[in-house]
Structures are given as C-alpha cells and as structure tokens.
C-alpha cells in the first residue's frame, strides 16, 4: 500500500487498457463482471484484444449477491480456468464487482494482481478507489474483507450513460461527502450541478476533484488509523439505514443511504460541534429533492442505535462517528451519546418530512 495507486481518467478505453496492461507482468487475464454489465457494457470493449482473449466470469448483480457464496463461486471458477499468481484480474462493474473481485483476487492463492474499471459513478468515486475489498456477511455490510489496492483504476464517463437515474444519484452522494470534507467552493459547485443534465465534461472535472480528495486521504492513511476515518462521514448512520432496509427486505441503494446518513451526521455535527445550520439546511434540501427520505419511526431507534454501535468504526459498544465543525473542519472519532443519537433521529424525521 506504500505505492501510489495509478488512476487513469480517459474515454479512450482501448488505449487506457493497452497502456496499463503493458506496464504489468502477467500471463493471462480473467475478467470479472456481472450479468448486467456483461450485457450492456462489455460489448463496447469486446474488440480490445486483452478483453476478447480473457476468461470471463459473470456474477449476479445486486448487493445481496456480494456474499460468501458468490466469492466461493469466483474462487472455484478461478481454479477451473487455471488462474495462477501471475494471472491478472480485471474487475469491470460497479461497487459489488470491484469489492468482491478485489477480495477474491486478494485471497486466491494469497493474491492475484487486479485492475478496477468502474462502470458506475458510485464505483468510480468510492468502491474502486482506496483498497477496501470485501463481502457482506451474516446480514452485515462489508463484514469480511482486506485492504489491498488495485494496481490501477481506469475511470471513464463513457460507461455512465448506461446507468439508471438512481445509480447516478447514488454515486453523487459520495461526491457530496467529499465536498463537505474539502472546501466551500467545491461543495457549492456540487450543489449547483444538475445530475441529469448530461454534461459529462463538467461531471468528469467534478469527478477528478472528488477522486483526488479521496486518493490524498487514503495515501495519508492507507489502513484507516486516523485521517481516513474522515471518509466515513455519513456512513455510520448510512450503513445503519442500509442494514435496516435489508432487514425489511426492501434494500436501498448505498448512495441513497449515505445521503440520508449525511443528514443525520450533520445534525449530530451541529449538536456536538456547532456545524453551521445554513449548510445543514442546504444539504437537507438537496437530499430531499434528489433522494427523497428514508422513513423511520421512534420504534426503529433501538435497532438503528444497535446497528450504529456495531459499525466497524465504533469501539467498546459506543457510537463513534466522523463529524464536522464546518466544511473541511474534521472532528474524527466523536463519541455520540445515545441521547444525542435519538435527538438527531428526531430532528431527521422533522427536517426530512
């Protein structure tokens, strides 16, 4: 993890792949994707020799399939196609593919080299960058995994026109988080951008800034010992919403859960660190307009608090959040009392109606 991860922004996919592979030592390529990407995206790059000659493994799409059963299936197919430690895996897909693919590659024969090619905005700004790999286990998000960066990440807006609106918005929530961690200008630029405008050139520039923010944080703290916890903003509450939705058997997109989680954690930031109320209200309005609301009642509080306590960042049964005193003014490792958490959920319900 000491090396700088190579991130390539390009819409010339053929050149990006051929240049990247030319820098790596490998003897064969395994392409991991999902059934939807195989149908809608893979045909766009199937003429590239490295892709055409690869062994393709297609998993079922959806976060409910990011599990041990799917990982086991990938390991078995890697074994049956003769993968060795000199094989190279290309993970072509969204966060499920890059998370699970990175985990499978990192553990098979103690580690294959791999490249991530995110086909979703969420994958580009979140899952594909930073070296977190893993699977869901026992009803909990990303419970099993390892830190291991891809050798390279190839990011292109060429794929994003295949995305439904919900997927675009899901990725944009992570960019909004990066804006809150950065500065007021970038945050304002994000609030002012129309996600459905189709302005891919402007989106690419916003995306580069977002990825740079995450890459710099990861480089400073690759194993999440300090600063990297800033990237958890919105995620302690967001993962709780996501897990509650799974318990209800009514899953929600990860980015939507993060957007709702940002609201809760900015409320907590206001309660504990006097985060500016005008910015809080601006975020609430943006989230309501673009993501709707996640409906909860007081009867859900005990479950949500238990899920927040179980979050990987929490310790000793306490709720531990990465919060802000202002845009870019981090307050990492804030211990949140149960009373404050319940108050924040009360305010969330009031503001998000």
Q: 119 and 16, same structural domain?
A: yes
Say yes or no to pLDDT of 243 above 90.
Answer: yes
Question: Using CA atoms, how far apart are residues 128 and 157, in angstroms rounded to an integer?
Answer: 14
Single out the residue in 163, 183, 200 at which a domain terminates: 163
Question: 187, 209 in Cβ contact below 8 A?
Answer: no
CA-based nearest residue to 127, from 167, 164, 158 = 167
Which of the pair, 12 or 185, is modelled with greater confidence? Answer: 185
For residues 200-239, one letter each, b for 16 or more C-beta atoms within 10 angstroms of the residue's C-beta and e for the rest, the string is eeebbebbebbbebbbebbbeebebeebbbbbbbbbbbbb
Q: 226 and 322, same structural domain?
A: yes
pLDDT of residue 200: 78
Q: 199 and 147, same structural domain?
A: no
- For the record, the structure tokens of 274 come out as 């006097």
Say yes or no to pLDDT of 159 above 80.
Answer: yes
Say yes or no to pLDDT of 313 above 80.
Answer: no
1 lies in a domain? no
Question: Using CA atoms, how far apart are residues 285 and 298, in angstroms rounded to an integer?
Answer: 23
Mean pLDDT of the chain: 93
Q: 220 and 110, same structural domain?
A: no
pLDDT of residue 141: 82
Average pLDDT for 325-353: 97
Of how many residues is the chain composed? 353
Q: 288 and 200, same structural domain?
A: yes
Range of the domain at 323: 166-351
Average pLDDT for 280-302: 97
**pLDDT digits over 65-102, tens only?**
999 999 999 999 999 999 999 999 999 999 999 999 99
**pLDDT digits over 172-222, tens only?**
999 999 999 999 999 999 999 998 887 877 888 899 999 999 988 988 887
Say yes or no to pLDDT of 314 above 70.
Answer: no
């Amino acid at each position: 993890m000491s090396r700088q991860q190579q991130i390539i922004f390009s819409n010339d996919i053929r050149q990006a792949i051929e240049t990247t592979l030319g820098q790596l030592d490998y003897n064969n390529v395994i392409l991991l994707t999902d059934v939807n990407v195989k149908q809608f995206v893979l045909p766009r790059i199937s003429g590239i020799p490295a892709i055409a000659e690869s062994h393709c493994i297609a998993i079922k799409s959806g976060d409910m399939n990011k599990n041990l059963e799917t990982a086991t299936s990938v390991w078995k197919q890697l074994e049956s196609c003769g993968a060795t430690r000199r094989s190279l895996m290309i993970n072509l897909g969204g966060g499920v593919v890059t998370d699970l693919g990175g985990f499978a590659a990192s553990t098979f024969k103690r580690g294959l080299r791999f490249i991530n090619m995110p086909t979703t905005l969420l994958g580009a700004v979140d899952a594909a960058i930073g070296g977190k790999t893993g699977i869901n286990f026992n009803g909990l998000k990303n419970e099993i995994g390892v830190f291991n960066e891809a050798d390279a990440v190839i990011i292109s807006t060429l794929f994003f026109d295949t995305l439904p609106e919900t997927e675009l918005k899901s990725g944009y929530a992570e960019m909004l988080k990066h804006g809150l961690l950065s500065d007021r200008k970038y945050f304002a630029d994000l609030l002012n951008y129309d996600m459905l405008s189709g302005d891919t050139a402007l989106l690419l520039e916003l995306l580069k800034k977002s990825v740079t923010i995450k890459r710099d944080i990861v480089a400073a703290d690759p194993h999440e010992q300090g600063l990297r916890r800033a990237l958890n903003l919105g995620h302690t509450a967001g993962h709780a919403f996501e897990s509650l939705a799974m318990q209800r058997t009514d899953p929600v997109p990860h980015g939507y859960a993060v957007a709702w989680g940002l609201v809760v954690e900015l409320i907590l930031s206001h309660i504990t660190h006097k985060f500016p109320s005008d910015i809080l209200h601006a975020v609430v309005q943006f989230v309501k307009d673009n993501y709707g609301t996640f409906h909860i009642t007081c009867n859900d509080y005990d479950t949500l608090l238990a899920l927040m306590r179980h979050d990987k960042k929490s310790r000793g049964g306490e709720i531990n959040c990465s919060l802000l005193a202002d845009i870019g003014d981090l307050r990492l490792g804030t211990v949140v009392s149960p009373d404050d958490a319940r108050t924040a959920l009360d305010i969330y319900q009031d503001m998000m109606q």
